[in-house]
């Protein structure tokens, strides 16, 4: 066991967490921890300074490990337990919060929205490729003036024959500029509705938000919709009113809670590094001067 893994194990022992886990959960956690130490941590300082991650490469890596939509069932998803998914989020966030955000937005927001509220055709079209990381999704809910409050959203969609015309904007959207498909929530005459918007749709643009202080390595974007014409089958048929986006937010909170534990553990490990050596390990701190 590496020194980092040994420290992490000792810290976890403070709460006797392993005693509450099944052997397969521990094996999965250790696999993702090794992946984080070998594939992610050596580059995270560089990604932090650049303000981005190699999203396509990482999505493929996460897909090979079966981490994308892992707690969903069918359509190429693993059907794992919530605990297993939470442990994955914990290990990813121990390396960087943006990495956990990338996985949880893909699985708990974009994929979950399609899995829970989408038609059978939409599930078959999008979920298998999203599970492998070949297709990246984003979740367009937050707006500049209302945050993640769907009751105040201004983005709207109106009917035009059998089509929908989408107008508005979204802000602070993880994976926005690299996404192949966006799950977008909008106000309609029938209430709040969700739509699947392929990135190539005319009138849909995205730009990166830069110079962030928080989640710096995460790709965070603004989405804009200017008379985006969508066919009738772009609408998520199972989403009814505010319960649609709120159910997705509730789904994501579980992984976020586990991730917070991983971040706290990492803070403690960094503190132990500092008090024992007089400096912060270069694998944990972007600026070690």
pLDDT exceeds cutoff 80 at 31: yes
Structure tokens at 263: 């971040």
Provide the sign of the torsion angle of the four alpha carbons 85, 91, 97, 102, taken in this order: negative
pLDDT exceeds cutoff 50 at 289: no
Q: Considering the domain 137-238 in this protein, what is its CATH number?
A: 2.40.110.10
Distances (CA, A) of 123 to 44, 67, 127, 139, 234: 33, 18, 5, 16, 12
Distances (CA, A) of 97 to 125, 147, 250: 30, 20, 19
Domain ranges in the chain? 3-133+246-277, 137-238
Quick one: pLDDT band at residue 197, thresholds 50, 70, 90?
very high
Quick one: pLDDT band at residue 273, thresholds 50, 70, 90?
confident
Structure tokens at 18: 């392993």
Note the pLDDT tens digit of each residue in 102-131.
999 999 999 999 999 999 999 999 999 999
Quick one: pLDDT band at residue 288, thresholds 50, 70, 90?
very low
Distance, in Å, from the CA atom of 137 to the CA atom of 117, rounded to the nearest integer, reads 15
Q: Considering the domain 3-133+246-277 in this protein, what is its CATH number?
A: 1.10.540.10
Q: What pLDDT does residue 252 have? A: 93
What predicted TM-score, i.e. pTM, was given to this entire model?
A: 0.90
Q: What pLDDT does residue 4 have? A: 55
Among the residue ranges 45-49, 57-61, 220-224, 230-234, the one predicted with the least confidence is 45-49
Q: What pLDDT does residue 285 have? A: 59
Q: Which of the pair, 3 or 201, is modelled with greater confidence?
A: 201
Distance, in Å, from the CA atom of 253 to the CA atom of 139, rounded to the nearest integer, reads 14
Q: What pLDDT does residue 144 have? A: 84
Q: What pLDDT does residue 183 have? A: 98
Q: Which of the pair, 288 or 116, is modelled with greater confidence?
A: 116
């Amino acid at each position: 066991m590496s020194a980092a893994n040994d420290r992490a194990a000792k810290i976890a022992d403070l709460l006797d967490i392993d005693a509450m886990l099944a052997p397969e959960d521990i094996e999965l956690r250790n696999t993702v921890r090794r992946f984080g130490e070998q594939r992610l941590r050596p580059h995270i300082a560089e990604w932090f300074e650049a303000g981005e991650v190699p999203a396509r490469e990482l999505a493929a890596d996460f897909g090979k490990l079966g981490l994308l939509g892992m707690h969903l069932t069918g359509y190429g998803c693993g059907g794992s337990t919530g605990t297993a998914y939470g442990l994955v989020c914990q290990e990813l966030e121990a390396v960087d919060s943006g990495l956990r955000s990338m996985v949880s937005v893909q699985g708990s927001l974009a994929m979950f929205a399609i899995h829970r509220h989408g038609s059978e055709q939409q599930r078959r079209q999008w979920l298998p490729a999203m599970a492998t990381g070949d297709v990246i999704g984003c979740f367009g809910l937050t707006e500049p003036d209302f945050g993640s409050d769907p009751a105040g959203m201004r983005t709207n969609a109106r009917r035009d024959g059998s089509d929908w015309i989408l107008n508005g904007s979204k802000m602070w959207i993880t994976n926005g500029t690299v996404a192949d498909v966006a799950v977008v929530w909008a106000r309609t005459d029938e209430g709040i509705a969700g739509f699947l918007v392929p990135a190539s749709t005319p009138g849909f643009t995205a730009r990166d938000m830069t110079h962030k202080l928080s989640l710096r390595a995460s790709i965070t974007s603004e989405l804009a919709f200017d008379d985006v014409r969508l066919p009738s089958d772009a609408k998520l048929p199972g989403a009814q009113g505010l319960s649609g986006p709120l159910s997705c937010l509730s789904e994501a909170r579980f992984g976020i809670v586990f991730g917070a534990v991983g971040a706290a553990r990492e803070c403690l490990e960094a503190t132990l590094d500092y008090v024992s050596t007089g400096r912060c390990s270069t694998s944990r701190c972007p600026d070690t001067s």
